[in-house]
Amino acid sequence: MRTTQYLCFAGLTGIALAKIKVEARYTNEMVDVGNLDLRKVTWEEIYAAPGNQRSVVTDNSYDTYGNPCTHDSAKPDNHVRVNINGQWGRIAGLGPHDSREALVKSLWTILDDISKPTGWHVFTECFGTTWQEGVPQWAYNGVSACGGRTTTVSRECQCSIGSAACRSHSWGHRVPSVIKVNLYNGEGALLADSLTINFASQKAEKADGCGFVGKVASTVAGLLPGPGSLFAAGIDLACEN
């Protein structure tokens, strides 16, 4: 049976009812994207796309790492696909790009807030992961992410061999398979402006994304503009099971 978890954080009364409303929905299915740079492949990708003043359509794939301890010779263990589809125009009373800014900011905030609690350490360029292998000189004389004399993340690595050392560190995340943001006018009519991002990967999905709805509430409650704005403060957020 299909169910929807839905929370409204608008608190709209009186004149605020005439303001443009942002609604966001995301799926319960959470995708393992490894150490994918989420801001780079979403926010930065949108603003780097030709013609982003009016719309964006991209479909890119990335190889990522997700294991807590990855040997220097190992290849990426995950393949992630990111599809972005958005369109926006000039809305009377708003600046030329305000529609786009509202959509991108809303989607990024939701993605960031949901993905952060899922984060785990991903150490790469690791050596000494077997008893037969030693570690390079940089582990003793330089700076390493973990396992060396001078570390930037932790004294010990998350490797099966306690003496291992890893040069690099990043964060792994899980993200909703789909996040979609729409705009509605003051009368509740759906506008053409929208932004959707789809994630897919080789790793199995996990159905627990709706559990993050409450965690995002405090952030999206006052997300959009302040006094005098044509946008209503806060957004409507729903998670689809």
Looking at residue 12, its pLDDT comes to: 34
Spatial distance between the Cα atoms of 15 and 60, rounded to a whole number of angstroms = 42
Q: What is the pLDDT of residue 19?
A: 85
| Separation between Cα atoms, residue 63 and residue 84, nearest integer Å | 18
Number of other residues whose CB lies within 10 A of the CB of residue 82 = 22
User: Interior CA angle at 95 toward 90 and 98, to 5°?
Assistant: 75
- Residue labelled with tokens 């005098």: 228
Over residues 166-191, the pLDDT tens digits come to 999 999 999 999 999 999 988 889 99
Give the pLDDT mean for 104-110.
95
Q: Could you tell me if 194 and 180 are in contact, meaning their C-beta atoms sit under 8 angstroms apart? A: yes
pLDDT digits (tens, 9 = 90+) for 4-17: 554 544 433 333 34
- What is the distance in angstroms between the CA of the first residue and the CA of the last residue of the chain? 9
Tens digit of each residue's pLDDT (9 = 90 or more) over 191-235:
999 999 999 999 878 899 999 988 887 788 778 765 457 888 888
Q: Residue 101's pLDDT is what?
A: 92
pLDDT, residue 119, reads 96
Written as one string, the DSSP assignment of 166-211 is: EEEEEEEEEEESEEEEEEE-TTSPEEEEEEEEEEEESSPPEE-GGG
3-state secondary structure of 134: coil
CA distance 51 to 40: 18
Residue 97 scores a pLDDT above 90: no
pLDDT of residue 10: 44
Domain boundary assignment for the chain:
4-11+20-122+169-240
In 3-state terms, what secondary structure has residue 26? strand
pLDDT tier at 18 (50, 70, 90 boundaries)? low
Please write the tens of the pLDDT for every residue from 159-169. 999 899 999 99
CA atoms within 13 A on the CB side of 62: 22
Residue whose tokens read 């030329």: 96
Answer for the pair 46, 52: CB distance below 8 angstroms, yes or no: yes
pTM for the structure as a whole: 0.87
Picking from 4, 9, 10, the residue whose alpha carbon sits closest to that of residue 25 is 4
For the chain, what percent of residues have pLDDT higher than 90? 64
pLDDT tens string 34-82: 999 999 999 999 999 999 999 999 999 999 999 999 999 999 999 999 9
Q: What integer pLDDT is reported at residue 89 of this predicted model?
A: 87
